[in-house]
Amino acid sequence: MLNKVLIANRGEIAVRIMRACKEFGITTVAVYSDADQSALFVKYADEKYNIGPGPASQSYLNKDKLIDVALKCKAEGIHPGYGFLAENSTFAGMCKKNGIEFIGPPVSAMELMGSKIESKKSMIKAGVSVVPGVTEAIADHERAKDIAHEIGYPIMLKASAGGGGIGIKKVDNEPEMEQALVSVRQLAKNSFGDDSVFIEKFIEDPRHIEFQVIGDKKKHLIHCYERECSVQRRHQKLIEETPSTALTPELRKEIGEQAVLAAKTAGYYNAGTCEFMFKNGKYFFLEMNTRLQVEHPITEITTGVDLAREQLRVASGLPLEYDQKDIKPRGHAIECRVNAEDPLNNFMPAPAKILRYAEPSGPGIRVDSGVYQGFTIPPFYDSMIAKLIVWAEDRPRAIERMKRALWEFQIGGVRHNIPFHQVVMDHPNWKSGDYNTSFIPRYQILEKVVEYVKETKAQSNTPKTAAAMAAVQAVIIAANAQQK
SS3 169: strand
Catalytic residue among 16, 185, 291, 415: 291
What radius of gyration do the chain's Cα atoms show?
22
Structural contact between residues 312 and 21, judged by C-beta atoms closer than 8 angstroms: yes
Q: Burial of 144 by CB count in 10 Å (0-12 exposed, 13-18 middle, 19+ buried)?
A: buried
Whole-Å CA distances, 133 to 119, 140, 284: 13, 16, 11
Dihedral angle sign, alpha carbons of residues 51, 55, 58, 60? positive
Name the nearest CA neighbour of 78 among 304, 223, 383, 291: 291
Name the nearest CA neighbour of 45 among 1, 83, 77, 6: 6
Whole-Å CA distances, 127 to 174, 255, 258, 285, 343: 32, 12, 9, 11, 44
| Residue 208 half-sphere exposure toward CB, CA atoms < 13 A | 20
| Residue 29 half-sphere exposure toward CB, CA atoms < 13 A | 25
CA distance 157 to 168: 6
Q: Looking at the DSSP assignment, which residues form a beta bridge with residue 234?
A: none
Dihedral angle sign, alpha carbons of residues 473, 476, 482, 484? negative
The sheet carrying 236-242 orders its strands as 282-289, 270-279, 207-215, 221-233, 236-242, 332-339, 384-392, 365-369
CA distance 240 to 296: 10
SS3 158: strand
Catalytic site residue 10?
Answer: no
SS3 300: helix
Residue 348 main-chain phi, psi, to 5 deg: -70, 150
Dihedral angle sign, alpha carbons of residues 274, 277, 281, 282? negative
Q: Looking at the DSSP assignment, which residues form a beta bridge with residue 16?
A: none
Give the residue numbers annotated as catalytic, written as ranges. 291
